[in-house]
Structure 1
Amino acid sequence: MHQKEPTWAEAKRQLGDQYFLDRLREFDKDNISDKTLKKVGTYTVKPDFDPEIVGTVSAAAKSLCLWVRAIEKYGKIYKIVKPKKERLEEALESLRMKQQILAEARAKLRELSEMIARLQREYDEKVAQKEELERRSRMLQLKLERAEALITGLSGEKERWEMTVERLDKEFDNLPGDCLIATGFVAYLGPFVSEYRESLMEDWFLEVCNESLPVTMDLSMKKFLLDDATLRDWNYMGLPDDNFSAENGIIVVRATRWPLAVDPQGQALIWISRLEEKNGIQVVDFGQPNYMKVMETCLSTGKPIIIQNVGEVLDPSIAPILEKAIVTIGTSKVIKFNDKMVSYHNDFHLYLTTKLGNPVYTPETLTKTTMVNFAVKEQGLTSQLLGIVVRKERPQLEQMKDTLVLSIAHNKKVLVDLENDLLRIMYESQVPLLENEELFITLQTSQRTSLEVKEALITSQVTEKEIDTARAAYVPVAVRASVLFFALNDLSRIDPMYQFSLDAYIDLFMYSIDRSPKAGELEDRINNLNEFHTYAVY
């Protein structure tokens, strides 16, 4: 194997070499020639070249024998493996080249992917910019349309609102004096008739002016403390349609002390009962057996209550209620009634009415209540009697009148509500007006509804005038009947025994309408009504 002569002398020389083992370890086993393998094979095939046999002679020789056999075997196998190994290396080299190409391709792919991602981002940004520009364009177009709609929609309101602002500024400046007059009116003028109220208020106006306090000289309590829609509702509920009765209604609902209505004809009782009907009002009097129990229930549940037919001396049991001697215990309110503490509801309302025409109450009673004079007035009674006679003679006409009154009141309320909604939205808007969707929906609805309501109002008011013209033909009957009632009423000044209730008089008036002679001509019919009723009264 070392290209030496295979002699014993050479063998001894090799074995004696101190580097022999190193040369064995460093032997180039991968490059053994076929010739050498063939020559070695001539020895290894011999039976006595067996490690076990050789080992019986020399352990060192046994190791050499094993090494030779191993080298021979390795050389033969290597001859077979080498081509495969070379092909493997070629394949590995090819793989490395392919992997390098793949890595380059992947790097290129990453580069392209990054470029595509960058382009996609740029594209998305451009698309987003385009969409944003389109959105802004649409929004600007919408704002232009809305601005035009807003200008068009509110242009008709500009002049009226400017006048309203001017009026409100003036009213605001006069508010201290107006409130002072109104407070005095509600607190002190309830017992007086119209003439005394007007006289006292004139004196108050002069006093306020002398104190240099701004005030509206032609101040009307009906306009200052009441709106038309509410007044129409009150009239429909039975409150007579005259200024005096409207003022009485204001005092009843505005006074801080419980109202005591001087109501000889029972009109206040009817009106208050209908006014509070939705709240479950109770009607009692001091002589009623369960009066105390009903009062306790109303105090606790917040239901309103009317004590009717009171005399000149009030039951002492209601003194704590009149004084509003309410005690707060924790979060609850209680009041002493019927010798015990009763829970008090904030919605509780007390109304007192008396049938006495000219009652005399003690100062103590007057300081605890707000007296309101509901004695019937000629204007209010005339209007009431006119409604009765027209309802009897021309029922369809009066029904149309009632329907129109309700319709006009409703339509006016709708207009006010629409305007208030529009102003509220404009005031409370948290976004620019042109971006407020609710505002323009309300504006469109308001314009459409306002136009319909205004047309309906014009039609209703024209129809109302026509109806009033037709009803006016019966005014002489109502005036005559009203004069006759007050003539009867004044008889009590001669002798107190002459007492006539309005309900009984109205029954007599309706009897006269039913029994009086009919006539083909309206003028003759009116004469018949007046003559028959005058005779019936006297």
Structure 2
Amino acid sequence: MITSIGLEDQLLRLVAAKERPELEEKKNSLILEGANNRRLLKNIEDKILEVLSKQGNILEDETAIRILSESRQLSEEISSKQEITSRTEQELDETRNGYKPVAIHSSILFFVISELANIDPMYQYSLWWFINLYIQSIEQSKKSINLKDRIESLKYHFTQLIFRNVCRSLFEKDKLLFSFLLCIGIMKGSNEVDDANWRFLLTGGIALENPFPNPVFDWLPDKSWAEIVRCSDLPTFAGLM
């Protein structure tokens, strides 16, 4: 099952590898270095335990003292290297996370088009197809040395590319609905859609007894009037009644 967090991480790795390949190469190198450092520390710990487990007075065993001294020195050197590695890896992650808005935005697009199968089972789009378009968009979108401008360019270009490609496969009657779902998905991702308003739009609210009589029953159905009354309870429409 594809999750939003898992997809975001995958998309972030892809865009970072395309935009800053040297950072991804350095990060992979640090991961290997960190694993090697942990292995060496484990070997040192095992050696120390082996020395301590021997019979006799360790303080009188020059070989044991030498091994312990060398192990301690080596352990301190490796620990110091590991601290540097961890700090460098953190700095790389911060730079890489500069592209996170692109990954989040693109993940939203994927889940929007995934919902199209609820409209028609023929509307199926694979992750492989989506990833290929994503990489294509990264390569074709307008470049900029300014990170903020580059991020906006990546988001805009990929949105346009997805929209055009998906619309080619939709029946004409479903294109407007797709445009609406895409717009809502992007706005919700930017916290521009109030959840209460959205739920009301989808459901019309919970039908309760309406204490207000319909003043224009000759042209407005009672059901619509009841929805207007319920709508007035939303903060956005306060004062409507």
Structure 1: runs of 5+ lacking an equivalent: 1-374
- Whose radius of gyration is greater, 1 or 2? 1
Aligned-partner residue type, residue 404 of structure 1: L
Matched, 1:508 2:116: no
Q: In the alignment, what sits opposite 1:377?
A: 3
Tell me the CA shift for residue 376 of structure 1.
2.6
CA distance in 2, matches of 1:441, 1:503: 58
Q: Relative to total residues, which structure has the larger strand share, 1 or 2?
A: 1
CA distance in 1, matches of 2:102, 2:7: 12
Superposition TM-score, scaled by structure 1 size: 0.28
Q: Structure with the greater relative contact order (CA < 8 A, sep ≥ 6): 1 or 2? A: 2
Matched, 1:419 2:29: no
Matched, 1:529 2:119: no
Aligned residues: 163
Distance 1:418 1:486, change over 3 A: farther
Cα deviation, 1:189-239, whole Å, max 9, x if unaligned, reads xxxxxxxxxxxxxxxxxxxxxxxxxxxxxxxxxxxxxxxxxxxxxxxxxxx
1:490 equivalent among 115, 124, 137: 115
Over aligned residue pairs, what C-alpha RMSD do you find? 2.2
Q: In the alignment, what sits opposite 1:397?
A: 23
Q: In the alignment, what sits opposite 1:433?
A: 58
CA distance in 1, matches of 2:9, 2:81: 25
Aligned-partner residue type, residue 59 of structure 2: L
Q: Secondary structure at the match of 2:74?
A: helix
Q: Secondary structure at the match of 2:138?
A: helix
Q: In the alignment, what sits opposite 1:238?
A: none
CA distance in 2, matches of 1:455, 1:516: 42
Distance 1:493 1:408, change over 3 A: farther
Aligned-partner residue type, residue 458 of structure 1: E
Q: Secondary structure at the match of 1:474?
A: helix
CA distance in 2, matches of 1:442, 1:478: 50
Mapping of residues 220-299 of structure 1, within 5 Å = none
Aligned-partner residue type, residue 95 of structure 2: A
Aligned-partner residue type, residue 420 of structure 1: D
1:476 equivalent among 89, 92, 101: 101
Runs of 4+ with >6 A deviation: none
Distance 1:496 1:415, change over 3 A: farther
Cα deviation, 1:163-182, whole Å, max 9, x if unaligned, reads xxxxxxxxxxxxxxxxxxxx
Superposition TM-score, scaled by structure 2 size: 0.60
Q: Relative to total residues, which structure has the larger helix share, 1 or 2?
A: 2
CA distance in 1, matches of 2:110, 2:67: 52
Cα deviation, 1:246-292, whole Å, max 9, x if unaligned, reads xxxxxxxxxxxxxxxxxxxxxxxxxxxxxxxxxxxxxxxxxxxxxxx
